[in-house]
Structure 1
Amino acid sequence: MKMTSSLFGLVSMNVFVLIVLTVFVQPASSNRLTVSGTSFMLNNNKVFLSGGNLAWINYGCDYGYDFYPNTKPKVEEQFKLMKQAGGNTMRIWIHCECVSSPLINETSGYVIAPDNNGKFLGDVKDLLDTAEKYDILVIPTLWSAGKHPRLHGLINDTKKLQSYIDIVLKPLATKLKGHKALGAYDICNEPEGILIRHSVDTDPCFDTRGVNFGIGWHGAFFDYKHMLRFINLQSAAIKSVDPGALVTVGIWEGKVITDKFNMVNRYSDDCLRKAGGKKEGVLDFYSVHGYSNAIGQTFDSLGVFKHSAPDYGVNKPIVVGE
């Protein structure tokens, strides 16, 4: 694939494959990562993001409670290895699918605290402090689309989601505001995993009739309208606290970020605003995943390894997040 300055590769679980860079700047200055057109900027220079998708040490049990003393040395070792290899960015999962955090009232489904002992926010801050020592940018992925009913409650019910926003997300964004190691917030990993195929809607943003997306591999629970609302409200909440923060989503495949090829960009500003109603609740760049077919070892014809960034016709940077 022809790589541009708006693309980077992140590979999963402790194994890092680094792409040869045409432009590289170490992220160690007072300036934050920003977006200009289809490029990332740092220290007034274009920067090519390259690194790995660590994901987790213990799925959903890395931050808050008393998990972090076990997590930190293992993550720090990966920061060291990435620094030695010349990488500059790491994607790390935070809540996963409500395995442990945030703390939710099991009767009402409302979020009541980040965790059970007040350590969660400090743990995530320390994660970024540690990354900064190695000149690594962190992309914290808040959620992963899965089957857990606690997560589903937040997607279904905006009041429950607002309890998370007020009690966890805004305090977290406040604590991390301006941090040099904060690359961007990734709202959710592969939302398509729990979407309904052939969902009927008069709006193309939400309608999936007649198109075999291959979605719903974790089960058919939500339509695009619910999921995009979930993303829109959280993105807007982050930006209300930290207007300089970048926000993205770990999108399943390139086919859903473009209006070309007879497709619909489900994550356009327009679609996100229609779903959630929040003007600021949009994405600053697209983080798209790319996997080959397990049987034929071939990539989807609209996948990121079959195209260069301009082929998708979008006006934001694109990264390869997995």
Structure 2
Amino acid sequence: MISKKIRLLGLVILGAVTLQAMPAGSRITLPNGKKIFVSGMNLAWKNFANDVGDTPLDTAYFDKAMKDVADSGGNCIRVWLSTNGTNDPKYNSQGLVSGPGSQTIPNIKKMLKLAKKHNILLMPVLLTHNWVQNSINSTILENNKKMLKTEEGLKAYIDNYLKPVVTEIGNDPNLICWEIYNEPEGMVMGWSSPANTITEAEVKRSVNWIASAIKEAVPEVLVSNGAATIGHLSWYKDDVLRSAGGKENGTLDFYMAHYYGWNGTSNSPFTKSYSHWNLDKPLVIGEYASTDWSQSTSSSSPMQDAGKVDTMLTYLNQAGYAGGLGWQYQPDAGDPWMKGFETFSHSMMELYREDSNSIKLDGLSSNTFAISVSASNGGTVKRSAVGRVESGKSDTLTAVAAKGYSFEGWSGDTTATNPVLVIKSVEKDWSIHANFVPDAGTNLIRAGDFSDLTMWGTWVNENEGNEATITFSEGQAKIVITKADTLNYNIQLTQGNIALDSGVTYLVTFEAWTSKRRPLFVGLSTQGTWHFQGGAEVELLDSKKKYEIEITPDSSTTAGVLQFNAGASTEPVYIENVSMVVKTNSVRKHHRSINRTTSFNQVGYLICWSAVSNQATADLLDLNGRVIKTVSKNGPLSLKEVPSGLYLFRINDGINSRAFRVSRY
């Protein structure tokens, strides 16, 4: 780290949101062939510069940190080793490196053992820009300079420290890579020492030599380097490193760079996709703030932009990057606005829920498993365990129905009907959905008094010459119509995402009136396919009247839409107190369940999808639920003409709706 008007069918409520993985080329390929997106946090130190050397590791602290990251869906922890040279490595009387501290190798092994326990990866960082900071002991400072400025010093470090350490550790499956430096550019630019204390050429030479030595000592192990900004990555291109140090194999396997709000948007990965940088290798963002920031954030350096942390890992994944690591696990002492794990954990959880296949480390050390739980409208699920569950341990899930709803059963990896589900021994990842159904008399309409306008959608088909204004005030929806064609559905007031069951009779009740007698059509349909589920036409009078309509859908769906079709007349419509309940003694004939017969893939600008149902359609929506595009069954959708940003791609097969996040950059 350096101090430095449109159809809107109600609120979109997702039962399952799945993130599309990027192509394997934007992944880190581990020695075992597994391709991953790196998701995790920095735990640069527990005790600054003293987690290696002659001091035993604080295993309890590292254990908790790794467990926290793993339980949140992360797969990597980044740790600094020698840091500033005050405790490791050791020097002889000639000021040359003689070897590692007595606890350096044991401590790294302990870190790897803990990583194995929690099934995550360890990313050890050999050196940092603190190497030549003015505040360290003068003798150590001179030794540190000699190590990097002279060939003799660099060779002694490689022979007496680097090779023994990397050889002893070997190609451990929980070692993601050896990172050579943390922000070495700081030694050149004078962050904590005079500028050019170490030159750019010396940094490049040392990276080339150290990378070569690691690969000679342990073939196939990965090597990287943590640049302060993306703008510095040009220092570490293959030809540049070979020219600087002469070692043909002294190159990096993937790039790493950091970003903080003070770096400026020109270097921001959060405003530009990976392809923008024209790089020849995957790029991991090895450090970025663990907490939201803005230009008003009180920081050690002035902020030049703003960021919302919860969306950033998902963004990096979709924008083609190979990973992201938050800074850092504990709150930062120099910039205490960065609160660490407390504010970053949700970001890892969100990404894991949406793209677990790119995060999981199958085949490494599967000691914990994820229990993914979701619920339909009308209830919640409580778990006895927190986060991931150790192999062989138990977890108890309790379905809790909200007032007016009843628990109907589980779906997904079990079809049990008891609201208390006990998984006695967890031996695999679970995906479980709790199904709740409304009791007779429970109002299925959200904000039927129009107290929450986000629950209601409006649509006026202006392309056919219709003109209308739909407003809400004092518990009333007011539809004022200037022009109308002959089709009632070209002016609509709607609410979507209503769960409907085939064969069940629903009673729709509302109060309405107009200025002069006119018809109003009220019905149910299925969002996406627009399959008509039933309805009736009523005559509105010039005085308020209560209306009741019975509708029995012919198919089940979780994407039902209540429509008030107010077209085909220019008389105004006023509506109040909308409700929709299951009619007493109505029999439920079909059980709604999670649909697993859809597939989805995004390749660049093109979204390809499929579904078994012949009624299936798909919509592209913005994050406010506005439909941007609709395509028919299995037809591809192009994002080329869509503005940059995040969207939802929703597949609806007439029974269930499933949504995926997509990006256009």
Any idea what SS the aligned residue of 1:301 has?
helix
2:27 aligned to which of 3, 25, 39: 39
Q: Deviations over 1:180-231 (max 9, x none)?
A: 1100111011011111xxxxxxxxxxxxxxxxxxx33223112211111111
Aligned to 1:17: none
Aligned to 2:223: 247
Q: CA deviation at 1:151?
A: 2.2
Aligned to 1:126: 110
Q: What are the within-5 Å matches in structure 2 for residues 16-95 of structure 1? A: 22-23=20-21, 37-42=25-30, 44-65=33-54, 67-69=55-57, 71-95=58-82
Unpaired runs of 5+ residues, structure 2, are 2-17, 134-140, 288-665
Residues 156 and 181 from structure 1, CA distance in 2 versus in 1: closer, same or farther, beyond 3 angstroms? same
Aligned to 2:319: none
Q: Deviations over 1:85-118 (max 9, x none)?
A: 010011100000212101112x411112212xx3
Counterpart of 1:84 in structure 2: which amino acid? D
1:272 aligned to which of 218, 234, 241: 241
Identity of aligned residues (%): 33
Q: CA deviation at 1:23?
A: 4.3
1:184 aligned to which of 173, 177, 199: 177
Aligned to 1:311: 276
Aligned to 1:4: none
Q: CA deviation at 1:62?
A: 0.7
Residues 194, 218 of structure 1: 8 Å contact kept = yes
Q: Tell me how far apart the structure 2 counterparts of residues 44 and 217 of structure 1 sit (CA, whole Å).
A: 39
1:154 aligned to which of 137, 147, 152: 147
Residues 232, 272 of structure 1: 8 Å contact kept = yes
Any idea what SS the aligned residue of 2:126 has?
strand
Unpaired runs of 5+ residues, structure 1, are 1-9, 11-19, 25-35, 196-214, 258-264
Residues 21, 48 of structure 1: 8 Å contact kept = no
Matched, 1:145 2:121: no
Q: CA deviation at 1:39?
A: 2.4
Residues 28, 254 of structure 2: 8 Å contact kept = no
Matched, 1:236 2:212: yes
Counterpart of 1:216 in structure 2: which amino acid? G
Q: Tell me how far apart the structure 2 counterparts of residues 179 and 281 of structure 1 sit (CA, whole Å).
A: 21
Residues 113, 168 of structure 1: 8 Å contact kept = yes
Q: Which moved more, 1:145-154 or 1:81-90?
A: 145-154
Q: What is the TM-score when the length of structure 1 is the normalising length?
A: 0.75
Structure with a larger share of its residues in strand: 2
Residues 64, 120 of structure 1: 8 Å contact kept = yes
Q: Tell me how far apart the structure 2 counterparts of residues 279 and 44 of structure 1 sit (CA, whole Å).
A: 24
Aligned to 1:28: none
Counterpart of 2:95 in structure 1: which amino acid? G
Any idea what SS the aligned residue of 2:224 has?
strand
Aligned to 2:94: 108
Aligned to 2:579: none
Q: Tell me how far apart the structure 1 counterparts of residues 168 and 232 of structure 2 sit (CA, whole Å).
A: 33
Q: Which moved more, 1:127-136 or 1:303-312?
A: 303-312
Residues 51, 90 of structure 1: 8 Å contact kept = yes
Q: CA deviation at 1:235?
A: 0.6
Q: Larger Cα Rg: Structure 1 or Structure 2? A: 2
Q: Tell me how far apart the structure 1 counterparts of residues 110 and 19 of structure 2 sit (CA, whole Å).
A: 29
Structure with a larger share of its residues in helix: 1
Q: CA deviation at 1:22?
A: 4.4
Counterpart of 1:77 in structure 2: which amino acid? K
Q: Tell me how far apart the structure 1 counterparts of residues 25 and 201 of structure 2 sit (CA, whole Å).
A: 27
Higher-RCO chain (CA-CA 8 Å, sequence separation at least 6): 1
Q: Tell me how far apart the structure 2 counterparts of residues 186 and 284 of structure 1 sit (CA, whole Å).
A: 10
Residues 89, 138 of structure 1: 8 Å contact kept = yes
Counterpart of 1:244 in structure 2: which amino acid? E
Counting matched residue pairs gives 258
